[in-house]
Structures are given as C-alpha cells and as structure tokens.
C-alpha cells in the first residue's frame, strides 16, 4: 500500500500519463493554452488533425470495422489516428489516465499482418481501437479504482471482458478516468483531477464512466467499456451526447475489475458499451455474448444474443407489429428541467404520427421508495472499505463522496448485521415484484407496455459537484432493467427558459429547480433513456431501432 504523501502520488500518476502521451508518434499537435480554450471544445480537434485522421476518427465503429476487414484501412493507421485524437482530448478535458502507444501499435501491426497473410479478419472486432475505463483490469497495468492508496495495485491478468474483446480482434490503446470511490455521477479524483464536459467545460462529464463519455464525445474513441451500478454508463453517455447501454445483470462478465464492495450481491454492477453509434452498442453486445462467456464464468446467464430477432419482439397476439411506449415525464420526486421536457415533447410528437407506435403516460410507482431501498443496499458495510481506502492515504474526501456516503439517511454509519442485510434484500425483492405487477397491469387495454421512455436525469449535465439526484438512473439498477441512452437535442436558452412560478415538491426538487440557469448550460447535450423489463435487453435494441427508423434521424437536431 502506498505510504508517500497523497500529493506526491498524484504527481507521479500525472507524470506517467504525460510521458505516455509524449510517446505517441507522430506527436500530438499543440493545443491552445487553457486561457484560449473555449467553453465548447468539440470543434478544436478538427483544427489540429489532418483530413485522413479526421475521416477515421469521425467514422462510427461499424464503418471502421468494414474498412478494416476489407483492408481499405490498416489497423495501424486507425489506431494511430485515435491515439493522437485521444491525446488531444486529454489536453482539452482531462479524460485519460494513460495511453498505450507501444502495445497498441504492436497489436495493430500483428493484425494487419494476419489479414494480409490469411485474407480474412481475425474476428468481428478486427483492428478496432477500444477504450477502457481504468478500473477494468489489464495485466501488468495499474488498477487504482480512483483511490490514491490503491495506486500501486496492478492487474494480475486481463479482466474477462478484455480477454473476450481481444479474442474478437480489438486493439486496446487508452484507459480513462473515473471518480473517487467509483460512486459519483461525475468524474473527479485526487490522482488526476476533474474530467469536464467537452460541450461546456463548466459542466460535468457525468460519472462514473466520465472519461469514456468525454473521450467518445471528442472522438478520441468510437467504442469503449463502461460500468454501471447507479447510472455510471448512462449519466456520462447522456451528458456527452453519445450512445450507451446498461444491460441486465449477469449477461456480460464482471471478473477482473477492482472496486469496493466486490462480492456484494444486493445491487449488482454491470459492464456495457459506450459508443459513437447505436450499431456500436449492438456490435459490442453481440461480439461478447456470441463467445458464450458463461462457459468460463458460471455466474453468467446462458442466454444467447438474439438481436436482430428471427421474429419481432414487438409482434402482438393479433399478429400486428406495434411498439407500445410508456412515457415518464417526471418521476414524481424531482421534475426535469425544461430542455428535458422539450426533448420528450419533440420525440413523442414525431412518434405520434407513426401508426405502429402507441404512446401512453406511465405513472411512476413509488420512485421515492426506490431510492431509500437502493441507497441502503449500496453500503451494507457502512462504507467501511471506502473509508479505509481514503484514510490510508490521507487524501481528502471529495464533495460527492461526502454526499453519497455521509448525507444519505439510509446509508448506515456501521456495518449491517447479516439479518439486517437480509431484511433490506427482502424489501428490494418486494419492490421489484410490485413494479413488475404495475408494468403487467399496463395490459388492461390489450397488451403491456414494451418499453419506457424517460429522462436520464433531472436536467442536462449539471455544473461541477452538483450531480446529487440519482433517481432517474438508480431506479433501473434497483429493478435490474436494461436501458439504452441516446442523444435527442441540445440545450437552447431561448427554447428552454426557466419555468416561472413553479412550486417545488420537496427539498430535492427545490435544489434541482434552483440549479437551472439556462445561460450556464449553453450547448449541453440532452438525451433520453429507453428502458425494458428485466432480461428484455434485445427488445430494447429492437425498440430503439424502430424509433430511429420511425423518426428518420437522431439526434432530432444537429449538435452545434
């Protein structure tokens, strides 16, 4: 365990990151000084890279895979382009913990030679660069999980998901930032500092997979690996205007990752894709599940990937193909800000004109109770492991660590007894049963809702240190429901003025209402969430594809 002052350890971490970026060849171009960087940084890489690099890094993963498999593009040139753009992204938004240029180019060279010799790709991800959230283990590389005291922890082997992705032919080239404790809906730690939103540097990137979200938004990656136990794939995907998918638990392997509370079965974390495109999420899921990971990890469900389906999941008993969507405008606890409401209005206005789509308003079932249940189950040991990891280095507690551990009344200040854990697990299961009943009862007019369309959070990306409402994402972790995040629009102060005269429902709602000052959120992406019932992962994908084809284009408005 690290014994040096935490500030010294942080400096070592940042120096090693800087050295890894300096090893990128050709060297990354000079980025404007901090004082010259605009709030919206998304256009800067286009001014610094050549046309060929821009064409590569701004292509979605499915297009790159076709070009790589055909030999139209070499893996070396694709990986080099993404390495350089990742280096630029780090300078703009602080989203990277290290790049791996030597190993990545060696791997890409091997794959290029394989294609040349064998006249076929090595696997479905042949030559594609994939970014990795740092707490997902890679053999011989650091595994700090956002704690200074864990700086000297090293991956003994590649995480199971890393092994599967490499079997499929990918190239691992960069690792990305995460927050202290891995339990923030933002990304900041004492090793690397704060990861900011590329559309507006005064706003948060989201978390805990915030480095992934930012890197993909700045097109320093086209496909990456995130994890989620309360919104950690979905919040950064939404805040950065990219695609993300949180699967049902036990569909993808979690072995080989580091985090406090490892082994807890009350609320199970999941791993999933974060992507520049919808199809990237599909390729990720299919590539992994097609390898039957349950054969080596018996904890996983032996469920093949069945999207696209042979027969539509949306076909009703009368043989008609119809998509029934429940709409959550507000969870009844915290009302979303005006741009989120506008996003739902704009999308549903388009969907209403589609004969194969039926929209119904969804009445949220006790979403306030859901937070009480899940927040108690997050820290059954009273956050003992987090507290010990922080205390052993002397690093300061960050504001959102204080918030999630010390300011939630349901989080115990001691370890629960075994019987207390059981009691709270019974409450979890009772709530799941009640919510399943509420969903089933939407069949009173013929057939139940297929998916729920709802906010990802109570606003667009909030200012730093203000992501204090988890309800719109943690709700679905408690229920273990799959959810897809997709970009819809962008905040516009003229279209999204403050709702005057609003009377908040409670203290949480009042905090959120006062947080909204439209001029401070300029350019922030606004995304929505499509949620399915437990194990309905493939139905969510079909519903999402159906919506895309129905509305013609997503986002509904081009980002600036």
The binding site for substrate consists of 182, 208, 229-232
- Of the residues 208, 275, 330, 375, only one is catalytic, namely 208
**Angstrom distance (rounded) from CA 473 to CA 229:** 9
How many residues in the chain? 560
**Angstrom distance (rounded) from CA 341 to CA 350:** 15
Please report, for residues 200, 207, 424, 512, 523, the alpha-carbon distance to residue 461 in angstroms, rounded to integers and kept in the order given.
Answer: 9, 11, 32, 12, 10
Query: Is 277 annotated in the active site?
Result: no
Please report, for residues 57, 75, 120, 392, the alpha-carbon distance to residue 115 in angstroms, rounded to integers and kept in the order given.
Answer: 21, 10, 5, 49
- Of the residues 232, 275, 330, 467, only one is catalytic, namely 232
Query: Is 133 annotated in the active site?
Result: yes
CB 502 within 8 A of CB 513: yes
The token duo for 493 is 């102060």
- Of the residues 74, 131, 133, 527, only one is catalytic, namely 133
* DSSP bridge pairs for 506: none
CA 315 vs. chain centroid, Å, equals: 30
**Angstrom distance (rounded) from CA 273 to CA 288:** 11
**Angstrom distance (rounded) from CA 444 to CA 440:** 8
CB 198 within 8 A of CB 90: no
Query: Is 232 annotated in the active site?
Result: yes
DSSP symbols for 165-204: HHHTT-EEEEEE---GGG--SS-EETTTEE-EETTEEEEE
Which residue ranges make up the annotated binding site? Answer: 182, 208, 229-232
**Residues with a known catalytic role:** 133, 208, 232
């Amino acid at each position: 365990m690290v014994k040096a002052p935490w500030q010294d350890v942080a400096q070592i971490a940042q120096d090693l990151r800087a050295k890894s970026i300096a090893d990128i060849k050709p060297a990354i171009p000079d980025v404007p000084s901090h004082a010259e960087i605009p709030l919206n940084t998304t256009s800067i890489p286009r001014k610094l890279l050549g046309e060929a690099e821009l064409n590569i890094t701004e292509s979605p993963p499915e297009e790159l895979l076709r070009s790589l498999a055909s030999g139209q593009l070499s893996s070396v040139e694709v990986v080099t382009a993404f390495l350089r753009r990742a280096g630029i992204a780090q300078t703009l938004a602080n989203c990277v913990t290290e790049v791996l240029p030597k190993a990545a180019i060696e791997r890409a060279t091997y794959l290029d030679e394989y294609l040349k010799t064998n006249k076929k790709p090595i696997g479905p991800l042949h030559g594609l660069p994939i970014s990795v959230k740092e707490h997902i283990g890679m053999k011989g590389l650091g595994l700090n999980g956002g704690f200074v005291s864990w700086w000297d922890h090293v991956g003994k082997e590649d995480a199971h998901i890393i092994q599967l992705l490499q079997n499929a032919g990918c190239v691992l080239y960069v690792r990305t930032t995460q927050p202290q404790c891995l339990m923030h809906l933002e990304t900041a730690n004492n090793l690397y500092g704060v990861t900011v939103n590329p559309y507006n540097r005064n706003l948060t990137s989201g978390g805990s997979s915030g480095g992934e979200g930012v890197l993909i938004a700045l097109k320093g990656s086209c496909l990456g690996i995130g994890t989620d136990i309360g919104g950690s794939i979905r919040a950064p995907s939404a805040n950065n205007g990219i695609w993300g998918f949180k699967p049902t638990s036990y569909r993808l392997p979690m072995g080989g990752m580091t985090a406090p509370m490892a082994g807890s079965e009350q609320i199970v974390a999941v791993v999933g894709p974060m992507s520049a495109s919808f199809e990237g999420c599909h390729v990720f899921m299919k590539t992994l599940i097609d390898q039957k990971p349950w054969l080596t990890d018996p904890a996983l469900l032996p469920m093949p990937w069945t999207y696209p389906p042979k027969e539509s999941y949306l076909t009703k008993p009368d043989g008609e193909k119809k998509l029934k969507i429940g709409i959550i405008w507000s969870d009844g606890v915290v009302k979303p800000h005006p741009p989120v409401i506008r996003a739902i209005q704009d999308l549903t206005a388009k969907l209403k004109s589609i004969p194969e789509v039926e929209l119904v308003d969804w009445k949220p079932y006790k979403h306030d109770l859901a937070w009480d249940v899940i927040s108690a189950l997050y820290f059954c040991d009273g956050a003992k492991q987090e507290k010990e990891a922080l205390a052993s280095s002397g690093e300061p507690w960050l504001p959102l660590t204080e918030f999630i551990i010390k300011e939630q009344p349901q989080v115990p200040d001691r370890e629960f007894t075994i019987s207390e854990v059981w009691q709270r697990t019974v409450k979890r299961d009772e709530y799941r049963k009640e919510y399943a009943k509420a969903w089933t009862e939407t069949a009173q007019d013929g057939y139940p809702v297929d998916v729920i369309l709802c906010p990802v959070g109570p606003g667009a990306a909030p200012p730093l240190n203000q992501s204090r409402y988890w309800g719109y994402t943690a709700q679905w972790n408690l229920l273990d429901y799959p959810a897809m995040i997709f970009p819809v629009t962008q905040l516009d102060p003229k279209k999204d003025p403050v709702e005057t005269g609003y009377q908040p429902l409670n203290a949480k709602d009042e905090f959120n209402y006062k947080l909204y000052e439209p001029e401070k959120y300029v350019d922030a992406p606004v995304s929505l969430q499509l949620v399915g019932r437990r194990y309905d992962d493939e139905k969510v994908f079909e519903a999402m594809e159906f919506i895309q084809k129905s509305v013609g284009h997503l986002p509904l408005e081009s980002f600036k």
